[in-house]
């Protein structure tokens, strides 16, 4: 019976990356959830906001 199998209800996500909306450069090294925050691209130095409800793609 499938209900006998324990369920995990918490996921710890590490290694968040995203792509700059201006130059498409891969940005990493975020501490915590970057959604709803403003960052400066390490490649083109332009500022961008991460949508507070941005989708997560689990790789
Ligand atoms: Zn950029």
DSSP track, 1-50? -GGGS------------EE-TTT--EE----S--TT-EEE-TTT--EEEP
State in Å: Cα 28 to ligand 1 middle. Answer: 12
pTM of the model: 0.75
Give domain limits for the chain.
13-59
Residues whose Cβ atom is located within 5 A of ion ligand 1: 20, 22-23, 25, 41, 43-44
**pLDDT given for residue 30 in this prediction:** 87
State in Å: Cα 30 to ligand 1 middle. Answer: 15
SS3 29: coil
Distance CA 49, CA 59 (A): 23
SS3 26: strand
State in Å: Cα 11 to ligand 1 middle. Answer: 30
**pLDDT given for residue 45 in this prediction:** 98
pLDDT tier at 39, thresholds 50, 70, 90: very high
């Amino acid at each position: 019976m499938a209900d006998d199998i324990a369920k995990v209800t918490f996921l710890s996500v590490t290694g968040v990356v995203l792509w700059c909306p201006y130059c498409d450069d891969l940005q990493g090294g975020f501490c915590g959830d970057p959604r709803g925050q403003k960052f400066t691209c390490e490649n083109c130095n332009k500022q961008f906001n991460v949508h507070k409800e941005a989708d997560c793609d689990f790789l």
